[in-house]
Amino acid sequence: MTNVTNITNITKMTNLTTMTDDQAMSVLQSNGRSFYFASRLLTPTHRARAARLYAFCRFVDDIADETADQGQAAAELDEIKAAIRAGHSHEPCVTNMLSLMQEASIPQEPVMALIDGVRSDVRLVSIRSEAELVRYAYQVAGTVGLMMSMLLDVHDRDAWPFAIDLGIAMQLTNIARDVGEDAQKGRIYLPSTWIGEVNVGDVGSPDDATAATLRQGTQRVLTLAEDYYKSGLSGVGYLPGSARYGIVVAAMVYREIGQVIAEMDYQTWGARAVVPHARKLMCASKALTGHAIHNFANSGGVIHDGRLHEHLQDCFGADTAALA
């Protein structure tokens, strides 16, 4: 796994002040195989930008996950926020992100929200409610969907809620897939209002009652993800034609993880749900030749369902007009 230390060492050894496109692509290829698979359908410029964004997200995420001292992790993330505000950093990954923000006209708000969401992981033990779950998914992934739309040269603000929804959907899929891995880090993202007060130490080898509860919670989070996938994909028409195929393939490959989890009877604490390469190719074929592009390519102007953002009233880019 390419972690934060490896990324930083690469740039230091080559005396660079920022990460190169090849290094960013290496991070994407090593850590985001589904996204790397779909990124090959983007233009070279958009693909390089997507890799640079992914590298920054990986960088901040690894700080929360791999720094043993919680106080140090929080302080490092606060330093990154300060550097983003100042528009200057000596850290290559942050310099790379500042350059990308300028190049793609990405404002500070989604970047700050992303870091805040990752920072909450430093001391997170559990999520209490669906509202907390959706807000967390917005912070760590809805913001990424929003920034992706900007680096794909989407300038219509009406597109933002759909981009956010696709990011939220993918994060909810992550949560369903990583129940066991997250528990090993001391975290439970399935809301306690859904599953009750499950002891994080019991997740790895749950008794029958706890296993049934975890399966129900995992199934419920995937059902919720479907609402956000449908919304996110309905906004594909806002994307430039050159980007639609890559984004639809990425969404459908990631969505397929949920199907794999269902085939595992929603038990993701003992084994990781993986979409094999041949199955990814099938998803891509379906996306490129089937209903996805046909249904969504001309969907610009579709009305967003503001109810999906009822818990995001103060979040940048969210659709809250219908809820006022």
Cβ partners under 8 Å of residue 165, min gap 6: 142, 145, 228, 229, 231, 232, 235, 304, 308
Q: Say what the pTM is.
A: 0.89
- The residue segments making up the domain with residue 33 are 4-302
Q: Kindly write down the DSSP assignment for every residue of 19-84, as one continuous string.
A: --HHHHHHHHHHH-HHHHHHHTTS-HHHHHHHHHHHHHHHHHHHHHHH-S-HHHHHHHHHHHHHHH
Strand partners, 117: none
Copy the structure tokens of residue 223: 């059902």
Rounded to 5 degrees, φ, ψ at 187 are -125, 140
Looking up residue 51, the CATH number of its domain turns out to be 1.10.600.10
Give CA–CA dist 229/215, Å, rounded. Answer: 21
pLDDT at 195 exceeding the cut of 90: yes
Give me the pLDDT at residue 298, please: 53
**Is 160 part of a structural domain of the chain?**
yes
pLDDT at 4 exceeding the cut of 60: no
Give me the pLDDT at residue 194, please: 97
8 A C-beta contact, residue 24 and residue 52: yes
**Is 308 part of a structural domain of the chain?**
no
- pLDDT band with cut points at 50, 70 and 90 for residue 293: low
pLDDT (mean) for 112-121: 96
Give CA–CA dist 237/246, Å, rounded. Answer: 13
Give CA–CA dist 224/216, Å, rounded. Answer: 12
**Is 106 part of a structural domain of the chain?**
yes
Mean pLDDT of the chain: 87
Give me the pLDDT at residue 88, please: 94
Give CA–CA dist 87/101, Å, rounded. Answer: 10
**Is 244 part of a structural domain of the chain?**
yes
Give me the pLDDT at residue 13, please: 32
8 A C-beta contact, residue 138 and residue 164: yes
Can you tell me whether residue 184 is helix, strand or coil?
helix
pLDDT at 95 exceeding the cut of 70: yes
Q: In terms of C-beta density within 10 A (0-12 exposed, 13-18 middle, 19 or more buried), how is residue 125 classed?
A: exposed
**Is 317 part of a structural domain of the chain?**
no
**Is 165 part of a structural domain of the chain?**
yes
Give me the pLDDT at residue 1, please: 31
Nearest to 236 by CA among 176, 121, 148: 148
**Is 298 part of a structural domain of the chain?**
yes
Amino acid identity of 324? A
Give CA–CA dist 124/135, Å, rounded. Answer: 14
pLDDT (mean) for 295-306: 69
pLDDT in tens, 124-180: 888 999 999 999 999 999 999 999 999 999 989 999 999 999 999 999 999 999 999
pLDDT in tens, 13-64: 333 456 777 777 777 666 666 666 777 778 889 989 999 998 999 999 999 9
pLDDT (mean) for 274-302: 72
8 A C-beta contact, residue 270 and residue 185: no
Q: How many domains does the chain divide into?
A: 1
3-state class percentages of the chain: helix first, strand second, coil last, to nearest 5: 70, 0, 30
Give CA–CA dist 115/121, Å, rounded. Answer: 10
| Distances, alpha carbon 211 to alpha carbons 145, 187, 265, 271, 274, in Å | 32, 16, 11, 14, 20
Q: What percent of the chain has pLDDT over 90?
A: 67
**Is 30 part of a structural domain of the chain?**
yes
- Tell me which of 100-104, 145-149, 214-218, 234-238 is least confident: 234-238
Give CA–CA dist 3/63, Å, rounded. Answer: 9
Rounded to 5 degrees, φ, ψ at 126 are -155, 160
- pLDDT band with cut points at 50, 70 and 90 for residue 220: very high
Give me the pLDDT at residue 8, please: 41
Give me the pLDDT at residue 5, please: 40
Judged by phi (left if over 0) then psi (alpha if -120 to 50, else beta), residue 87 lies in left
pLDDT at 81 exceeding the cut of 50: yes
